């Protein structure tokens, strides 16, 4: 009866007054039924359904296990690197290189361990035609170390590149070429002092070196070592020379890192 009355109320056909009165009386006396019927055809509200067994997920996201882990974990030990010697601030030895192009060029290289004190001059590269092919080579100076013109200056954040002869002229880098050989005092940890045109002194400490063959090897292999002359983000000094003393079949490269200013 209720369904027929509601369907009749939703049509355009006239409905008898007595039937309309019956519908009104029914909805007034049973409002809970009216809520359900007027919501048709949507399903009954979910609130009328009994709770299911999965309606309480607290155990799935409870932070209690994490709390136990935090409470029982032992505190991490303090890293030893944070400790400093008495009276020495932890940041006192931090390196602060200058921006590229802001410092004067180098004029002198001093290596106390070798008793070496040589002048430094700027050098560029020259292009020559050999066997029908053009070759670009850095200029070299007989009585001084050559500072590659496009490399960094002393104390700057980049790569300061110096090259020198080991068996011609005044043999400025002869002792440098013998790094790693018996009796050579030059090695990792050796200090190199680079003096700038304004008199400022910048100390670099040797961190690595390499001796490699360049004669009788493919050009592709030789080019693999050209990265030693590339610009770098870190402040370093690179020394380049030849070896052995009676030839030039190998190159020797010494890399040193800038030390903090005193």
Q: How many CB atoms lie within 10 A of CB 223?
A: 9
Q: How confident is the model at residue 52 (pLDDT cuts 50, 70, 90)?
A: very low
pTM of the entire predicted model:
0.63
| Residue 183, pLDDT above cutoff 80 | yes
What pLDDT digit, counting tens, does each position of 193-225 carry?
999 999 999 999 999 999 999 999 998 888 889
Residues 6+ apart with CB under 8 A from 223: none
CATH number of 106-258: 2.40.260.10
Q: How many CB atoms lie within 10 A of CB 207?
A: 13
Position with higher pLDDT, 228 vs 50: 228
How far is it, in rounded angstroms, from Cα 233 to Cα 257?
Answer: 12
| Residue 42, pLDDT above cutoff 90 | no
* Domain regions of the chain by residue span: 1-47, 106-258
| Residue 181, pLDDT above cutoff 80 | yes
Q: What is the mean pLDDT of the chain?
A: 75
| Residue 151, pLDDT above cutoff 70 | yes
Q: How many CB atoms lie within 10 A of CB 153?
A: 20
Least confident of 5-19, 220-234, 242-256: 5-19
Q: What angle do helix axes 2-9 and 17-29 make, rounded to 10 degrees?
A: 120
% of the chain beyond a pLDDT of 70: 63
Tokens of 84: 């400093």
Concatenate the DSSP letters of all residues of 153-196 into one string.
PTTBSSEEEEE--SSSTT-TTHHHHTTTSTT---STT-EEEEEE
| Residue 158, pLDDT above cutoff 70 | yes
| Residue 130, pLDDT above cutoff 70 | yes
Least confident of 24-33, 96-105, 131-140, 180-189: 24-33
């Amino acid at each position: 009866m209720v369904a027929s009355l509601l369907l009749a109320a939703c049509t355009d056909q006239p409905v008898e007054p007595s039937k309309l009165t019956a519908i009104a009386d029914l909805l007034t006396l049973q409002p809970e039924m009216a809520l359900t019927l007027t919501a048709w055809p949507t399903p009954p509200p979910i609130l009328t359904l009994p709770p299911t067994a999965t309606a309480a997920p607290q155990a799935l996201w409870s932070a209690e296990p994490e709390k136990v882990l935090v409470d029982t974990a032992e505190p991490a030990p303090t890293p030893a690197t944070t400790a400093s010697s008495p009276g020495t601030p932890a940041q006192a030895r931090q390196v602060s290189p200058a921006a590229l192009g802001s410092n004067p060029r180098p004029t002198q290289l001093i290596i106390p361990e070798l008793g070496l004190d040589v002048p430094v001059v700027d050098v560029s590269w020259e292009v020559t035609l050999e066997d029908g092919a053009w070759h670009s080579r850095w200029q070299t100076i007989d009585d001084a170390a050559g500072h590659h013109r496009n490399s960094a200056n002393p104390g700057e954040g980049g790569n300061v590149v110096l090259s020198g002869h080991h068996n011609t002229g005044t043999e400025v880098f002869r002792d440098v070429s013998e790094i790693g050989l018996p009796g050579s005092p030059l090695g990792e940890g050796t200090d190199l002092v680079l003096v700038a045109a304004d008199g400022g002194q910048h100390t670099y400490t040797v961190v690595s070196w390499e001796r490699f063959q360049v004669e009788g090897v493919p050009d592709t292999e030789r080019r693999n070592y050209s990265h030693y002359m590339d610009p770098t983000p870190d402040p370093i000094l690179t020394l380049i020379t030849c070896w052995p003393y009676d030839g030039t079949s190998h190159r020797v490269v010494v890399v040193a890192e800038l030390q903090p200013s005193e």
